[in-house]
Structure 1
Amino acid sequence: MSYENLAGRTAVVTGAASGIGEATAVLLAAHGARVALVARRGERLDALAGKIRADGGEALAVVADVTDQTSVDEAAARVRDAYGRVDLVVNNAGVMLPHPVVDGRADEWQRMLDTNVTGVLRVIRAFTADLTDTAAEGGTADLVNVSSIAAHVAFPDYAVYGATKAAVTYLSQALRTEFGPRDVRVTNIEPGLTETELLTHVDTDLAGLVQGLLESVGALSAQELADVVAYATSRPRHVNLRQIMVLPTRQA
């Protein structure tokens, strides 16, 4: 696969401490992008940055919480100080806390909304000028939002999580009307069942359902999703792979 167009770019990946974010950061760096690793777990980020550097790449560990605008803004300033203007943003940070709505777990609803929706918006706010300025000067500028198949397909007990991902999918669509005319690409990626830490957030009473799905349809690897991100963002700047749904072949 040809990813030459990633060389020399400056990327920010949120949720980079594990899963899709970690795999995406590793792959972007392997193809010549400078990568800012953004997440809450500093030790995990430091270890990942060390691995990337040991393999010849450039990486910066930036501890930040996407639920806090000040934290996001400080992270953005640190990235610019180290690498200059950002031209590739991967909004990947997210939480999945499935329970029946009738349980009334308002604290978990708020956590998912703050991370999966408002967190995405905070990151967009912090880097919009970078992306639009890059595009105005003829460079390639990408915003990638990681949503979920749950934006379209209803799963029992995942109503609030699915609603947050539906918001991300709609937001991506609407942002194209603002960013597209300014030559900034917006790509919305909707994974199906994927091997990530999100699966560990599932309570014991729902774990059987998830395990049954894994056994019947299998799961994508984080590296396979990273490959999709790298492919989409390495196309010529006038080509926008706008909406990509990625499922295990057996997942309906």
Structure 2
Amino acid sequence: MSEVNEKVVIITGASSGLGEATAKMLASKGARLVLAARREERLKKLVEHIKEQGGEAIYRTVDVTYRDQVEALAEAARNEFGRIDVLINNAGLMPLAPLDEVKVDEWDQMIDVNIKGVMYGVGAVLPTMRKQKSGHIINLSSVAGHVVFPGSAVYCATKFAVKAISEGIRQESEGEIRATNISPGAVATELTDHISDKESKEMAEDLYEDAIDSDAIARAITFAIEQPAEVDVNEMIIRPTKQEL
């Protein structure tokens, strides 16, 4: 029987892309899902699809920049399923632009979603995982959390932060909570849709010409969860074979 079976898994940013693909894959292996995103109609359709395939899932409309909404998400998981086994911090934004453009609103947005949203998720599930003496927190960083690209300084800073948070969880886990940092390269998602700077968008679109499917990341996440409790997969970088950076 798969180690995924009957685990209660919270996924943020579940309405599309990596979150949606991961939800479908984990549901097929028997996970009980708590799905979160801002777009309710897409969440409804995803939950309906999972249930039609014989899976278990509920959803909550959540903006991860609001701590009370993230806390309510964790509470919904506990109320529905009695525990929280895995948190997948997937929600993120990538509005790239050179620093000289001084797009402060976009800087704030990335910090709020990519860093504070991750921390709100961690804070919401840690007490439950500590009480259970078990749990697994999976954070979606990026190749941009390992190397800085032109026009991506703030985005890279947020993803370096996610990597640091993941390592901090591991060091403070006391052998109870697993921590996995997943760093995708170019993946076919809506991530480039948020780029308002023309040159940065063209650069990203060139990089994403060889983008791999979201299922590649879903498989990596599933692999990490499937390991026995004493095995913690801490770090994975997954790029298209053709991606140089």
TM range (shorter): over 0.9
Among 113, 116, 134, the alignment partner of 1:115 is 113
Q: What is the aligned partner in structure 1 of residue 213 from structure 2? A: 221
Q: Report the residue type matching 1:21 in the other structure.
A: G
Q: What is the aligned partner in structure 1 of residue 192 from structure 2? A: 199
In the TM superposition, residue 133 of structure 1 has moved relative to its aligned partner by 2.6
Q: Are 1:237 and 2:235 matched, yes or no? A: no
Would the aligned equivalents of 2:36 and 2:62 in 1 still touch at CA under 8 Å? yes
Q: What is the aligned partner in structure 2 of residue 185 from structure 1? A: 178
Q: Are 1:131 and 2:129 matched, yes or no? A: yes
Cα distance in 2 for residues equivalent to 1:95 and 1:45: 18
State the secondary structure of the residue aligned to 1:77.
Answer: helix
When the two chains are superposed, the root-mean-square deviation of aligned CA atoms in Å is 1.3
Q: Are 1:25 and 2:23 matched, yes or no? A: yes
Cα distance in 2 for residues equivalent to 1:205 and 1:46: 36
Q: How does 1:48-63 map to 2 (within 5 A)?
A: 48-63=46-61
Would the aligned equivalents of 2:10 and 2:36 in 1 still touch at CA under 8 Å? yes
The 10-residue stretch of structure 1 (190-199 or 68-77) with the greater mean CA deviation from structure 2: 68-77
Q: How does 1:95-174 map to 2 (within 5 A)?
A: 95-134=93-132, 136=133, 141-174=135-168
State the secondary structure of the residue aligned to 1:4.
Answer: coil
In the TM superposition, residue 224 of structure 1 has moved relative to its aligned partner by 0.8
In the TM superposition, residue 214 of structure 1 has moved relative to its aligned partner by 3.0
- CA deviation profile, 1:13-48 (whole Å, cap 9, x unmatched): 000011101111111111001000011111110110
State the secondary structure of the residue aligned to 1:6.
Answer: coil
Q: What is the aligned partner in structure 2 of residue 176 from structure 1? A: 170
Q: Report the residue type matching 1:190 in the other structure.
A: S
State the secondary structure of the residue aligned to 1:182.
Answer: coil
Unaligned runs of 5+ in 2: none
The alignment's TM-score, normalised by the length of structure 2, stands at 0.95
Unaligned runs of 5+ in 1: none
In the TM superposition, residue 80 of structure 1 has moved relative to its aligned partner by 1.5
In the TM superposition, residue 130 of structure 1 has moved relative to its aligned partner by 2.0
Cα distance in 2 for residues equivalent to 1:208 and 1:95: 17
- CA deviation profile, 1:188-221 (whole Å, cap 9, x unmatched): 0000011111021223433322232233xx1121
In the TM superposition, residue 132 of structure 1 has moved relative to its aligned partner by 2.2
In the TM superposition, residue 225 of structure 1 has moved relative to its aligned partner by 0.2
Would the aligned equivalents of 2:13 and 2:37 in 1 still touch at CA under 8 Å? yes
The 10-residue stretch of structure 1 (205-214 or 238-247) with the greater mean CA deviation from structure 2: 205-214
Would the aligned equivalents of 2:192 and 2:205 in 1 still touch at CA under 8 Å? no
Would the aligned equivalents of 2:96 and 2:152 in 1 still touch at CA under 8 Å? yes
Would the aligned equivalents of 2:11 and 2:19 in 1 still touch at CA under 8 Å? yes
In the TM superposition, residue 153 of structure 1 has moved relative to its aligned partner by 1.6
Q: Report the residue type matching 2:140 in the other structure.
A: V
- CA deviation profile, 1:121-168 (whole Å, cap 9, x unmatched): 00110100222233x2xx5x2110000000122211111000000000
- CA deviation profile, 1:61-116 (whole Å, cap 9, x unmatched): 11111101111112222222111111111000001111111111111111100100
